[in-house]
Amino acid sequence: MRNLWYKIVRIYVKIGLFFLFKKVSVYGEENIPKKGAVIFIGNHQNALIDALLIPTTNSRNIHFLTRASAFKIGIVNKILRSLNLIPVFRIRDGIRTIEKNVDVFEQCIEILKQEKGIQIFAEGDHHLERRIRPFKKGFARIILGTLQKYPDLTIYIVPVGINYDSHLNFPSSTSVYYGKPILANKFIDIKNPDLKFKEIQNQVLAALKNLTLHVEDFANYGEIIGKLEDLNVDYLNPLEAKKLLENIETIPSTAYRKKNKINWFAPMQLLAKLNSIFPLLIWKYIKPNIQDVVFTNTYRFALIATLFPLFYLIQAGIVYYIFDLKFAIIYLLSSIILGIISTKTITVSQ
């Protein structure tokens, strides 16, 4: 029953992401082990959206670690746990709560023992930088603990590069790249472990840097990003973006000058906005009050998945009351079609 609930919610979330993104492209699905214990390690540039993209772009049943602060409300706590979310406690949650992570690690060990999947963002926190931050040791400690308890278990790590053409604007597009699986057992000596975990961290870090754009020179980060965007960089193609980065000083900025296109869908986009005026006004109020801008798309997704469909259903109910069921269904279908056209045709800047 719980597995069915997970699958139903995954489908609903996938529909919400369909309306959030202009396009979602997935590559390397053949690299995902169909069976066995696996840890998905991705980069973390878009808050909750990153956590939703991995389980909705592959068929594995995945448990994922997330900040404990999201579990404070009783009913929310139950819902999140029913969807395979596991709370991770940080120092900011209170020094005493860190001890609870021992139980979290034990839970992860048992999940791997059952040959299921776990999703971890090894950078430890989200950010808007187009680079991979140094890893925390948590994922390696989980692997070590699992192999010490179950030495015959095979554990694979699948690096996941999540790329966005824009982190904050709507509707952005995303590409998800699954890298070749890394056999974690090769890098863990259970009898005499290296508790710095440098070898396994470097292996995963190197793999992840090939799956997303990584700007190493942080001192000149802003200038480099500005040049890349002047050259019309395609962030969704990490290989091409990396080549552009390597040759950034030799390519004239006029080589990739953008061409202005006529927006033939402007009237329908305007009609879609007028049809969604109430939820858009609520979004206009909420957006400036988001304290951490990395959560912009998280809040946007929440409205798309809840308020927008509710508003359309209420409107359809009014149409049904005034006219009849046929007109109500026509209105509802028209709203969905307008939403799809609007989301898939708007051009958004980086």
User: Looking at residue 96, what is its pLDDT?
Assistant: 61
Question: Which residues is 162 bridged to in the sheet?
Answer: 176
User: Looking at residue 195, what is its pLDDT?
Assistant: 83
Tokens, residue 332: 């509802």
Question: Which residues is 182 bridged to in the sheet?
Answer: 157
Distance, in Å, from the CA atom of 322 to the CA atom of 121, rounded to the nearest integer, reads 51
Distance, in Å, from the CA atom of 289 to the CA atom of 287, rounded to the nearest integer, reads 5
- Residue 174 near residue 163 (C-beta atoms within 8 A): yes
User: Looking at residue 160, what is its pLDDT?
Assistant: 97
Distance, in Å, from the CA atom of 82 to the CA atom of 3, rounded to the nearest integer, reads 9
Left, alpha or beta for 197 (phi > 0: left; psi -120 to 50: alpha)? Answer: left
List C-alpha distances in Å: 97 to 24, 71, 88, 92, 216: 37, 13, 9, 9, 34
Distance, in Å, from the CA atom of 108 to the CA atom of 104, rounded to the nearest integer, reads 6
List C-alpha distances in Å: 121 to 19, 48, 78, 158, 170: 25, 11, 23, 12, 24
Alpha carbon dihedral 68, 69, 70, 75, in 10-degree steps, equals 90
Strand ranges (E), 128-249: 155-164, 173-178, 182-183
User: Looking at residue 90, what is its pLDDT?
Assistant: 63
At 288, give phi and psi (nearest 5°).
Answer: -70, -15
Listed in sequence order, the DSSP H helices in 168-292 are 198-209, 221-230, 238-246, 266-275, 277-286
Give mean pLDDT in consecutive 10-residue pieces for the chain, a chain of 350 residues: 80 94 96 95 92 91 78 69 74 60 85 93 89 91 94 96 94 96 92 87 95 93 91 93 89 63 85 94 95 92 94 96 95 95 82
- Residue 274 near residue 268 (C-beta atoms within 8 A): no
Residue at token pair 């396009």: 23
User: Looking at residue 19, what is its pLDDT?
Assistant: 95
User: Looking at residue 345, what is its pLDDT?
Assistant: 92
- Residue 67 near residue 90 (C-beta atoms within 8 A): yes
Question: Which residues is 24 bridged to in the sheet?
Answer: 174
Tokens, residue 140: 């390696």
Q: Which domains are assigned to the chain?
A: 2-209 (3.40.1130.10), 221-256 (no CATH), 266-345 (no CATH)
Distance, in Å, from the CA atom of 310 to the CA atom of 329, rounded to the nearest integer, reads 15
Residue at token pair 């009849």: 324
